């Protein structure tokens, strides 16, 4: 399974050029900003991605209630042979955290994200998604 990490800016550029076919997107967004700033909208993947999961998460959350939904989404994308794009505002923390969790769960390769200086994976996201993926696979 191919997994890529993007920031909001870089995914915007990709949406206007060669967006990859057969793609599922997990898009983190800031719920406070979304609810208060009329100019802040969700990234529009209409006509581009095969499926999209929008996940609200601010920088100060200590839990990820949507972790189970993320696990179900990832397993669904994998069963359909879709590549996954992980996108958040900066493309360094939240998206890196769940990318590391996905890589660790399926390939025992999550450390490749933690050891890459471009990323600073959010550990709460990492552990919440990893635990949810493991629980989902146990219940299949």
3-state secondary structure of 123: helix
What is the predicted pLDDT for the residue at 140? Answer: 66
Please tell me what DSSP assigns to residue 17: S
**pLDDT tens, position by position, 62-81:** 999 999 999 999 999 999 99
pTM, entire model? 0.93
CATH number attached to the domain at 3-138: 3.90.190.10
Q: How many CB atoms lie within 10 A of CB 53?
A: 19
Structural domain spans, the chain: 3-138
Mean pLDDT rounded to a whole number for the chain: 95
Q: Which residues contact 139 (CB under 8 A, 6 or more apart)?
A: none
What is the predicted pLDDT for the residue at 72? Answer: 98
3 backbone dihedrals φ, ψ, rounded to 5° = -130, 135
**Percent of the chain with pLDDT strictly greater than 70:** 99
């Amino acid at each position: 399974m191919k997994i890529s990490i993007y920031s909001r800016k870089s995914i915007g550029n990709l949406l206007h050029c060669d967006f990859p076919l057969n793609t599922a997107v997990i898009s983190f967004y800031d719920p406070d900003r979304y609810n208060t700033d009329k100019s802040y909208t969700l990234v529009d993947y209409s006509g581009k991605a095969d499926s999209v999961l929008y996940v609200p998460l601010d920088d100060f959350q200590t839990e990820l209630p949507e972790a189970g939904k993320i696990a179900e989404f990832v397993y669904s994308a994998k069963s359909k042979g879709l590549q996954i794009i992980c996108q958040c505002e900066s493309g360094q923390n939240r998206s890196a955290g769940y990318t590391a969790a996905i890589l660790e769960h399926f390939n025992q390769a999550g450390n490749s994200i933690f050891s890459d200086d471009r990323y600073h994976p959010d550990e709460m996201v990492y552990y919440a998604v990893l635990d949810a993926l493991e629980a989902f696979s146990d219940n299949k």
